[in-house]
Amino acid sequence: LESLQRLVGEVAPVHQEQSPASVTRHPAWDYSATWSPSGQTVAFVSERDGDPEIFVQNLESDSALQLTFNEEMDRRPAWSPDGKLIAFAAVRDGVEQIHLIRPDGTDEQIATPPNLRGTAPAWSPDSRRLAFIGWDADNHAGIYIIGPEIEDLVQLYHSTRWIGGLHWSADGAWLTFTAWQDGNHEVFALPADGGLPIRMSTHPAWDDSLVVNPAGQFSPPAPDTENVARAAASHRQAADGNFATGVNLADLGKAYLINDIGFGWGKGFVNWATVEPEAGNFRWIDPDNVVTALGDQQVKILLRVHGTPDWARPTDTSFTHPPDDMADFANFMTALASRYKGKVAAYEIWNEPNLYYEWGNGEPDPARYTEMLKAAYSAVKAVDPNALIITGGLATTGDGSATAYGDLAFLQAMYNAGAQGYFDAVGSHPYTFGRAPDEVDPWGLSLSRVAEQHQVMVDNGDGDTPIWITEMGWIIENSWEMGEHETSAVSEQEQARYLSGAYAKIRSDWPFVRAAFLFNLDFSTVPWYPAAEPMRWYSILNPDRTPRPAYTTLKNDMHPR
């Protein structure tokens, strides 16, 4: 208690024990609540209309008033101390800025200048100024204060690493924030009139969102060489050259979390259809961003390549349809591998090619897929011999169905078509459909399916070639209709245990598996997936970016002490 008092000021006495009371009672996710000055109303984020929106609700009411209406994302509301405005971070057309709105939902306006993105608003006690975390045109992060006038903009702090969780102390003297500085999340205090940030915590756990007790005296220690802009030392394991641990990543701004959790690989996505919309006309911005973001974190990169442009496939077909001429695909892979030679370590060719949907809604064709694989392998190796080629991760489908080709039969047919020697690893997606890692399903719908896939490889004289699990995960229970995923959902605690157990089992029981990529790190946090999208519920982060139990468990597994 004494150390807590030194950190956040005098602790207000608790006169009696009280249990938390639920303000909202909607089955959707409600989070990021902020009090009105009167203490009678809360503003919060809810996903009840399918995406994150701002709502307000009186404590005496059973219904909430929706303030924002859009199909992207509104988050991190902050109620002004005078009660007149709510500031929040709004994503519009893919750009996040600070918006203001009245508590009745009227007069929404943008508060930040057009050349500056912004998030995590925090009001000054007099409601005349607004602090926020911003990114300039060069993607450099900093803490800014705007006001009293709209043109009054000051940058207080510049950071080369992630920062968030911004709050303004009630006495107006301090801004507190979270920063990932030297391999860990720690909380800092920054003088509101400028100066050096002072580290307030030093612990290997994820520390976040320091809020100062308004009734206490907040007196951070004086800045010195030990506590200024330096976080706790990272406890990462040495990289294992024989096994790749990675994540499927959606938001490039969270690439640093790959290092935080202790993994060494990141998986990004390249859609041929958007990169080469016209033959020979390349738009590299998306893969450039992926390679830059992951490269800046010094993690190895796996790129999954998928999607056929309109000009390269039959008319009236979907982008998952294979190209008419595999030479077109080979030309694209040559351009891709040439651009990222020495930067991208591995390429995964297509996604789950044994599913009808992923093969243009037609019957999957292992011989045709083998042609694609050969074209990609030859093209990439010609310009970057060190880059690895991974087959498209096979969906675990047992003996097959009306919409899927059995994965073992598909793999055997690939060998029959001459695929051997044209890949460095077989990709696999051994989803367990809710089963524990040790459970073996007689139909093959379990993690142990990789052993059966490996046996096919052994039977074809290819037992020395490894398997890469490029997707692996468990969906958690939620209130949305999940379709085929409904019966597979597990609790958050089970997700944590199963993922931890899966990594342990793979490493101990199946030496032929040389990589396992978690699906997924953060799909729950991005605006382009609606609340009912099942992929969001495989994530190990909550929609507000806080870690689910699986994140903490895996991080502890990767950082033994």
Q: How confident is the model at residue 150 (pLDDT cuts 50, 70, 90)?
A: confident
CATH of domain 244-474: 3.20.20.80
What is the pLDDT, as a whole number, of residue 17?
A: 67
Q: Identify the helix (H) or strand (E) that includes residue 35.
A: strand 30-35
Please state the rounded mean pLDDT for residues 457-477: 98
Q: How confident is the model at residue 275 (pLDDT cuts 50, 70, 90)?
A: very high
Q: How confident is the model at residue 225 (pLDDT cuts 50, 70, 90)?
A: low
Res. 149: pLDDT tops 90:
no
What is the pLDDT, as a whole number, of residue 10?
A: 36
Pairing of β 244-248 and β 53-58: unpaired
Per-chain mean pLDDT for the chain: 91
**Topology at the third CATH level for domain 2-199:** Neuraminidase (2.120.10)
Phi, psi of 467 (to 5 degrees): -105, 135
Res. 13: pLDDT tops 70:
no
pLDDT tens-digit map of 523-555: 999 989 998 999 999 999 999 999 999 999 999
What is the pLDDT, as a whole number, of residue 512?
A: 98
Q: How confident is the model at residue 12 (pLDDT cuts 50, 70, 90)?
A: very low
What is the pLDDT, as a whole number, of residue 273?
A: 98
DSSP string, 300-368: EEEEEEE---GGGS-TT--TTSPPS-HHHHHHHHHHHHHHTTTT--EEEESS-TTBSGGGTTS---HHH
CA distances from 203 to 164, 175, 186, 412 (A): 17, 21, 7, 51
What is the pLDDT, as a whole number, of residue 161?
A: 85
- Kindly state the DSSP code that residue 284 receives in the 8-state scheme: -
Report the 10 Å Cβ neighbour count for 184. Answer: 22
What is the pLDDT, as a whole number, of residue 553?
A: 97
Which has the closest alpha carbon to 219: 472, 508, 6, 1? 6
Ordered strands of the 130-135 beta sheet: 117-123, 130-135, 141-146, 153-159
Give dist(CA 272, CA 291) in Å, integer.
15
Tell me if residue 451 falls in helix, strand or coil: helix
More confident residue, 114 or 306: 306
CA distances from 423 to 202, 391, 466 (A): 46, 6, 10
More confident residue, 7 or 296: 296
* Contact yes or no for 21/32 (Cβ under 8 A): no
Q: How confident is the model at residue 240 (pLDDT cuts 50, 70, 90)?
A: low
Q: How confident is the model at residue 62 (pLDDT cuts 50, 70, 90)?
A: confident
pLDDT tens-digit map of 332-348: 999 999 999 999 999 99
CA dihedral 418, 420, 424, 428 (to 10 degrees): 80
What's the number of CA atoms in the CB half-sphere (13 Å) around residue 15? 0
* Contact yes or no for 222/207 (Cβ under 8 A): no
More confident residue, 386 or 27: 386
Give dist(CA 508, CA 516) in Å, integer.
13
Global confidence as pTM: 0.89
Percent of the chain whose predicted confidence (pLDDT) is above 70: 94
How many residues can be counted in the chain?
Answer: 561
Phi, psi of 347 (to 5 degrees): -125, 130
Q: What long-range pairs does 84-93 form, CB within 8 A, spacing at least 24?
A: 84/127, 85/127, 86/34, 86/43, 86/54, 86/56, 87/111, 87/121, 87/123, 87/130, 87/132, 88/54, 88/121, 89/118, 89/119, 89/120, 89/121, 91/527
What is the pLDDT, as a whole number, of residue 417?
A: 98
Percent of the chain whose predicted confidence (pLDDT) is above 90: 79
Please state the rounded mean pLDDT for residues 294-302: 95
Give dist(CA 389, CA 218) in Å, integer.
56
* 3-state percent helix, strand, coil for the chain, nearest multiple of 5: 25, 25, 50
Res. 484: pLDDT tops 90:
no
Res. 205: pLDDT tops 90:
no
Domain ranges of the chain: 2-199, 244-474
More confident residue, 240 or 295: 295
Report the range of poorest mean pLDDT among 95-109, 206-220, 406-420, 493-507: 206-220
Give dist(CA 361, CA 464) in Å, integer.
34
The token pair at 162 is 């992630």
